[in-house]
Amino acid sequence: MALLLAIESSCDETAVAILRGSKGEASQILASEVSSQIELHREFGGVVPELASRNHSLHLRPLVQQALVHANVGIEEIDAFAATTGPGLASSLLIGSTAAKAMACALEKPFLGINHLEGHLLSPFLGQTEVPPHIALIVSGGHTLLLDVEGAGSYRKLGGTRDDAAGEAYDKVGKMLGLPYPGGPEIEKIARTGNAQAYDFPRSMLHDPHLDFSFSGLKTAVLYTLQKETGEIPVADLAASFQQAVIEILVGKTLKAAKKTGRRIIALSGGVSLNLALRNAFQQACERSGIELAVASPTLCTDNAAMIAFAGLLRFLEGESSLLDADISPNLPLV
Instruction: Fill in the amino acid letter for 113.
Output: G
What pLDDT score does 194 carry?
A: 97
Residue 82: partners with Cβ closer than 8 Å, 6 or more residues away:
4, 5, 6, 7, 100, 111, 112, 113, 114, 308, 309, 311, 312, 313, 316
Tens digit of pLDDT for each residue in 47-78?
A: 898 888 999 999 999 999 999 999 999 999 99
Tens digit of pLDDT for each residue in 204-215?
A: 999 999 999 999
* 15: three-class secondary structure by DSSP: strand
Q: Which fold has domain 2-126+302-317?
A: Nucleotidyltransferase; domain 5 (3.30.420)
Instruction: Fill in the amino acid letter for 139.
Output: V
* 303: three-class secondary structure by DSSP: coil
Tell me if the pTM is above 0.75: yes
Instruction: Give the other-Cβ count within 10 Å of 48's Cβ.
Output: 16
Tens digit of pLDDT for each residue in 149-192?
A: 999 999 999 999 999 999 999 999 999 999 998 999 999 999 99
Same fold, 2-126+302-317 and 134-295: yes
Tens digit of pLDDT for each residue in 8-46?
A: 999 999 999 999 999 888 899 999 999 988 888 888 888
* 158: three-class secondary structure by DSSP: strand
Say how many Å lie between the first and final Cα of the chain, rounded: 30
CATH (residue range 134-295): 3.30.420.40
What pLDDT score does 201 carry?
A: 97
What confidence category does residue 247 fall into, taking pLDDT thresholds of 50, 70 and 90?
very high
Residue 227: partners with Cβ closer than 8 Å, 6 or more residues away:
none
Pick the closest to residue 271 from 138, 160, 119 (CA basis).
138
Q: What integer is the mean pLDDT of 284-299?
A: 96
DSSP element (H, E) containing 84: strand 80-86
What pLDDT score does 44 carry?
A: 84
Ramachandran category for residue 156: left, alpha or beta (phi over 0 → left; psi -120 to 50 → alpha): beta
Distance CA 138, CA 65 (A): 31
What pLDDT score does 137 carry?
A: 98
Q: Where are the domains of the chain?
A: 2-126+302-317, 134-295
Q: How distant, in Å, are the alpha carbons of 83, 246, 252, 288 from that of 284?
A: 36, 16, 12, 6
What pLDDT score does 171 carry?
A: 94
What number of residues does the chain have?
A: 335
For strand 111-115 and strand 154-160, is the pairing parallel, antiparallel, or unpaired? unpaired
Q: Print burial letters for 70-91: b (CB count within 10 Å at least 16), e (below 16).
A: ebebebeebbbbbbbbbbbbbb
The percent of residues above 90 in pLDDT, for the chain, comes to: 90
Phi, psi of 118 (to 5 degrees): -65, -35
**Peptide bond before 62: cis, by omega within 30 degrees of 0?**
no
Q: What integer is the mean pLDDT of 117-127?
A: 97
What confidence category does residue 195 fall into, taking pLDDT thresholds of 50, 70 and 90?
very high
Please state, rounded to an integer, the average pLDDT across all residues of the chain. Answer: 96
Phi, psi of 161 (to 5 degrees): -80, 140
